[in-house]
Amino acid sequence: MEKNVVILDIDYVTYENKPVIRLFSKDKDKNIVLLDDSFEPYLYVAPKDNVKKCQEQILDTLEGVHIEEVIKKDFQVEKTFLKVTFLNPQELAKNRDALRDLDQVDHIREHDIPFYRRYLIDRDVIPMTEVKACGEKIDSFLNLDSKKHDLEIIKLTKPLERVGDDLQDFRILSFDLEVRNPHGMPNSEVDEIIMIGVASNFGINQVISTKTNSEDRDDFVNQVASEKEMIETFIDIVKKSNVDIIVGYNSDNFDFPYLKDRAKSHGIDLDLGMDDSNIKFIRRGFANAASFKGLIHVDLYLVMRRYMTLERYTLERVYYELFGEEKVDVPGEHIWEYWDSDSTQLDDLFDYSLDDVVSTLKIAQQTLPLNLELTRIVGQPLFDLSRMATGQQAEWFLVKEAYFDNEVVPNKPGGSNFTIRAAEEDNEGGYVKEPEIGLHENLVQFDFRSLYPSIIISKNISPDMLVVGDVENREDYNISPEHDLKFKKNPKGFIPSVISKILNERFKIKKAMKASVDPTEKKTLDVQQQAIKRLANTMYGIYGFPRFRWYSYECAKAITSWGRQYIKRAMKKAEDYGFYAIYADTDGFYAKYKK
DNA sequence: AGGTTCCGGGG
DNA sequence: GTGTACGGAACCT
C-alpha cells in the first residue's frame, strides 16, 4: 500500500537484536506509525597506515560487524576509511572504546550521532513535512496495537519519498496549571492542583476545576468533582483532540513534573503518547525535558530565550514584548488566598488561569512557524530543535550537509582537547567606538549586510582551508589583517560553501516574497528567509565555541580581524565625505554630517 | 585576579 | 539513548 503522511516524531526499538526505526506520523484523520528495519548503525574508522591490516584486526577483535572500505573527504582531502556496521546501536556503544584502542586504528569518527538522527540524515527524511510511505499494513508490533491504540501500523518496504517541503497545519494545544500553595512555591506531595487551563487552535478554551466562576462571568469553566477527575478530564481532552503539538511555559520543569506527581498520587498514568505510553523525562544536562511518543511537547520558555533578548523571560514579560498588552495578573504567593476567598477574587483567578493559557497559545502561534522552518532546514525533530541552542541547530545542519558532501564530520572535542580549546584566550570581538554623549542631529546610519557571513564567504574562512606555517605564493591565500592567518583561495571551503548555498536560497526566497501578492504566502516566505538568516549568522559563533565540532580559534580570530578592518575603513571613507562617526559597533555606525 | 556558588522559569 | 550536560552574575578568598 501507498500513503502520504506527515512525520511528527521518531525513535527506535530493538527487536530480535535488530533496530527498528519508528516514525510517529499522521494523515488527515489518523495516527500512523511507520516501521523501518532496514537501517543499520555504523561509524568510520581511520586506519593508521595499513588499511588491510586494520580491517583484519577489527574482524579478529569484534564479532558480528560488517566492514566496508570507503573513500570519504576529511577537511576536503580524500582518504580511505573503514565503515564499520554493527548489529544494533547498543553493540556500537559497547565496542566503540575497544575499537578506538586497537593499535591499527588511528581514530574513530561519527561514533556519537544518535541513531534516529543518523536515519533522518542518511535517508533524507525531514520531520514535519509530507512523505510517501510504501509498505504493508500490520496489526501489531511489540507493544503497538493498531486497534487498541487506534492507529495504523505500516511496515515499510521501500525508502520514504519526499512529497514536498510544504509545512503542514498542526493542531496545537496549550495548557497551564494553578496550584493551591499556602507556603510559597508548591510542593507536589501536599499541594493540590486547583485549575488546569487548556486552549487550542481548534476551538478549545477552558479551565478545568473543582470550583466554578460566578454566573455573570463568561462560561469557560469545566467543573468536575475532584482533582483526580480534573487530571482525567485533561488527559481525555488531549487524547480525543488528536493534538500534534502540546505547549506550555516552563512545562519541562514545572507543569509536567507536577502533573505527573499528582497523577501518580491518584494512581493515574500520564499516558498521552500516541501508543498510550507514559510521559518520559529525558535528562539533558542540568534540566529535564518532558516527552511523549508521537506528541510533540514544546516548552516555550526555552524557545523564547532564544527568540528575543530580554532581561527576564517571565510569561508576562515575553507576552508584553510580543503583543504590547499587559496580562491579567495574580501575584503567585496569593493564589491560594484567591482560591479560598469564594468571591470576586476567585473569579479573577479563573480569568487569570484562562489568560495564561490563551497567552501561551498566542505565543506558540507567533513563534512556532519559525521553529518549524528551522526544523525543515536543520532536518531534526521539532522536539529536539526547540530545545537546542542556535549553535547546536547550526551544528546539526552542518552534520547533514557534510553527509551530502561526502565529508566525514569532525569529532566533538573531548577531555584534554576540550580543556585546550577552553583555555585559549577570548577572541577580540568587533570594533566598538563608545558613543559620544549628547544630543546629535543630522545623523546617518550605516551598516553592513551580513558582515560575518560575507567575510567567511569572501575570504574562504574554513578550518579545511587554513594553512599553518610558511607558504610559497602568498597571493594564493587570503591573509588576515592581523595574526597572519592564511586561508587557501581555492577550492571553496566546507563552511563557506554551505553559507553561500543557504544565502542564495535566502536571496531566492526574498525575491519570491517581493513578487508574491498573497499575504499568507508572503508571511510564510518571510519566516523562511528569517530562519535562514538566523542560521547563517550563527555560523561565525560556531568557530568560537569550544564544544563545537568545527571549532577553530584561528577562523574566529580571522573573521573578527577582517570585520574590524572593514568597519574602520568604512568610517574612514565616510569621513572623507564629511560624515563623522559618533558611535560604532561591529558591523555598523552612526555618523554626523558635519557640513 | 581567580575560583566557586547560585540561579533562571513555574505557583 | 551510538547518554555526561549552560552561562552569567554574585559572592567568596
Residue A423 confidence (pLDDT): 63
The CA-to-CA distance between both ends of chain A, in Å, stands at 76
Number of DSSP helices (H) and strands (E) in chain A, helices first: 16, 27
- Mean pLDDT, chain A, rounded, equals 92
pLDDT at A416: 60
Indicate if CB(A141) is under 7 A from strand C: no
Which residues lie below 8 Å from residue A558, measured CB to CB, with a gap of 6+?
A: A459, A461, A480, A483, A485, A487
pLDDT bin (cut points 50, 70, 90) of residue A418 is: low
The nt closest to A301 (CA vs C1′) is B9
The answer to whether A383 CB sits below 7 Å from nucleic acid chain C is no
pLDDT in tens, A510-565: 999 999 999 888 988 898 898 888 888 888 888 888 888 999 989 999 999 999 99
Through-space separation of residue A23 CA and nucleotide C1 C1' in angstroms: 16
Q: Are A112 and A413 in contact (CB under 8 A)?
A: no
Distance CA A392, CA A285 (A): 14
From the list A539, A528, A401, the residue with the least C-alpha distance to A457 is A539
What is the share, in percent, of chain A residues with pLDDT greater than 70? 97
A12 nearest nt, CA–C1' = C1
C-alpha cell at A150: 487506534
Cβ distance A181 to A170 under 8 Å? no
C-alpha cell at A504: 542564495
Q: Which of A78-87, A286-295, A476-485 has the lowest mean pLDDT?
A: A286-295
Instruction: Give yes or no for a contact between A47 and A380, defined as CB atoms under 8 angstroms apart.
Output: no
On strand C, nucleotides with any atom < 7 Å from a protein CB are 1-7
In angstroms, the CA of A334 and the C1' of B9 are apart by 18
pLDDT score, position A419: 61
pTM, two decimal places: 0.94
CA gap A229, A207 in Å, rounded:
13
The pLDDT of A20-26, averaged and rounded, is 97
Q: Taking 80 as the threshold, does the pLDDT of residue A167 lie above it? A: no
Higher-confidence residue of A416 and A29: namely A29
Any atom of strand C under 7 A from CB of A312?
no
Nucleotide in closest CA–C1' contact with A389? C6
What pLDDT shows up at residue A241?
95
Residue A489 above 80 pLDDT?
Answer: yes
Distance A312 CA to B8 C1' (A): 9
Tens digit of each residue's pLDDT (9 = 90 or more) over A297-347: 999 999 998 888 888 899 999 999 999 998 888 988 899 999 999 889 999
Q: Are A369 and A524 in contact (CB under 8 A)?
A: yes
> Distance, angstroms, CA A509 to C1' B11?
45
- Percentage above 90 pLDDT, chain A: 79
Supply A375's cell numbers: 526544523
Per-residue pLDDT of A197-234, as tens digits, reads: 999 999 999 999 999 999 888 899 999 999 999 999 99
Smallest CA–C1' separation from A91: which nucleotide? C2
Residue A491, preceding peptide bond in cis (omega within 30° of 0): yes
Instruction: Answer whether any strand C atom is within 7 A of the Cβ of A284.
Output: yes
Least confident piece of the model among A55-69, A166-180, A373-387, A412-426: A412-426
Answer yes or no: is A443 CB < 7 A from strand C.
Answer: no
**A107 closest CA partner among A198, A44, A191, A150:** A44
In tens, the pLDDT along A449-475 reads 889 999 999 999 999 999 999 999 999
Higher-pLDDT residue of A116, A528: A116
Helix, coil or strand: residue A438: coil
Residue A431 Cβ < 7 Å to strand C = no
Give the whole-angstrom CA distance, residue A482 versus residue A489.
18
Strand B contact nucleotides, protein CB < 7 Å: 7-11
Residue labelled with grid coordinates 557534510: A402
CA distance A575 to A290: 56
pLDDT at A422 exceeding the cut of 70: no
**Three-class secondary structure of residue A450 per DSSP:** coil
DSSP string, A27-45: -SS-EEEEEE-----EEEE
Q: A451-458 and A553-576 helices cross at what angle (nearest 10)? A: 110
Q: Residues whose CB falls within 7 A of nucleic chain B?
A: A 176-179, 181, 184-186, 249-250, 253-254, 286, 301, 312-316, 332-333, 335, 356
- A254-268 pLDDT, tens digit each: 999 999 999 999 999
Q: Please report, rounded to whole angstroms, the spatial distance between the CA atom of protein residue A141 and the C1' atom of nucleotide B1.
A: 62
Query: Does the CB of A287 fall within 7 Å of any strand C atom?
Result: no
pLDDT of res. A524:
86
Q: Grid coordinates standing for A553?
A: 580559534
The alpha helices in A123-205, defined as continuous H runs, are none
Q: Determine the pLDDT at residue A314.
A: 92
Cβ contact A18 with chain C strand, < 7 A: no
Q: Residue range A421-429: average pLDDT? A: 71
Name, of A176-180, A319-323, A374-378, the range with top average pLDDT: A176-180
The separation, in Å, between residue A511 CA and nucleotide C2 C1' comes to: 42
Distance CA(A413)–CA(A416), nearest Å, equals: 8
Q: What average pLDDT does this structure show over A487-504?
A: 94
Mean pLDDT computed over A150-179: 91
Query: Can you give the pLDDT at residue A309?
Result: 83
The whole-angstrom separation of Cα A340 and Cα A177 is 17
Q: What angle do CA A207, A190, A219 make, to 5 degrees?
A: 10
Residue A397 CA and nucleotide B7 C1' are separated, in Å, by: 31
Q: Which of A533, A495, A497 is nearest to A513 (CA)?
A: A533
Q: How many CB atoms lie within 10 A of CB A160?
A: 21
Under a CB-based contact definition with an 8 Å cutoff, are residues A24 and A274 in contact? yes
Size (chain A), residues: 595
| Contact (Cβ atoms closer than 8 angstroms) between residue A252 and residue A302 | yes
Return the H-helix or E-strand segment holding A53.
helix A51-61
- Please tell me whether residue A288 adopts helix, strand or coil conformation: strand
A547 contact to strand C (CB, 7 A limit):
yes
